[in-house]
Amino acid sequence: MTIYSIIFYLLAIVILVTTAMAVTRRNLVHAVIYLIFSFFGSAMLFYLFGAPILAVLEVIIYAGAIMVLFLFVVIMMKAETIDKRVFDFRQWLPVAVFGLIYIAIGMGIISAEPNSQITLKTALAAPEEFGQFVFESHWISIEAVSLLLLVALAGALIIGRRSKRPSAPETTDGEL
């Protein structure tokens, strides 16, 4: 077993665990943080496979922009959580452990011997060819994802506005 296969399996385990923790958390902010760790692991996996551009896009688009959007939605909904403590050690310990694992794996990838016997076949495609392939072959998937994101954002706005409405006794005549 080579160092690359060890790194691959370690990354796969960490991605699965952090994604499972994101799905099972009651606190939505913690769930988003675990999902960010999962996206960072996916970016490291892309980099390990020899696709640094995809790794950078994963970090910028998913771990950056999409997760910021999710955090805004969570904040707009003002979801109540049972636990009111902000810095509980038991909640931050898994985040710290996974963060250290990611740092160790990243350092292992960066410091890997450049003259190793494993060579990865590089797939090269011009941006025009890639865009043409994606929008000709998978256009329905892209449209479905964009529609789902639009519906989710509209739903969050509706839920957020519903919670701000005053109750019936507090309204004045002619006001909703």
Q: Which of 118, 142, 157 is the last residue of a domain?
A: 118
Report the mean per-residue pLDDT for the chain. 78
Is residue 88 domain-shared with residue 37, that is, in the same domain?
A: yes
pLDDT tier for residue 171 given thresholds of 50, 70 and 90: low
Is residue 8 domain-shared with residue 77, that is, in the same domain?
A: yes
Lowest mean pLDDT among 26-35, 44-53, 97-106, 110-119: 110-119
pLDDT for 165: 58
In this predicted structure, the answer to whether residue 146 has a pLDDT above a threshold of 70 is: yes
Q: Which of 118, 136, 163 is the last residue of a domain?
A: 118
pLDDT tier for residue 138 given thresholds of 50, 70 and 90: confident
pLDDT for 51: 81
Region 143-161 average pLDDT: 82
CB atoms within 10 A of CB 21: 19
pTM over 0.75, yes/no: no
Is residue 25 domain-shared with residue 62, that is, in the same domain?
A: yes
Region 32-37 average pLDDT: 89
Is residue 54 domain-shared with residue 71, that is, in the same domain?
A: yes
Q: What's the N-to-C CA distance of the chain in angstroms?
A: 67
pLDDT for 107: 79
Lowest mean pLDDT among 10-14, 122-126, 147-151, 172-176: 172-176
Region 39-58 average pLDDT: 87
Range of the domain at 141: 125-176
CATH of residue 102's domain is 1.20.120.1200
Eight-state DSSP code of residue 117: S
As to burial, measured by CB atoms within 10 angstroms (0-12 exposed, 13-18 middle, 19+ buried), residue 108 is middle
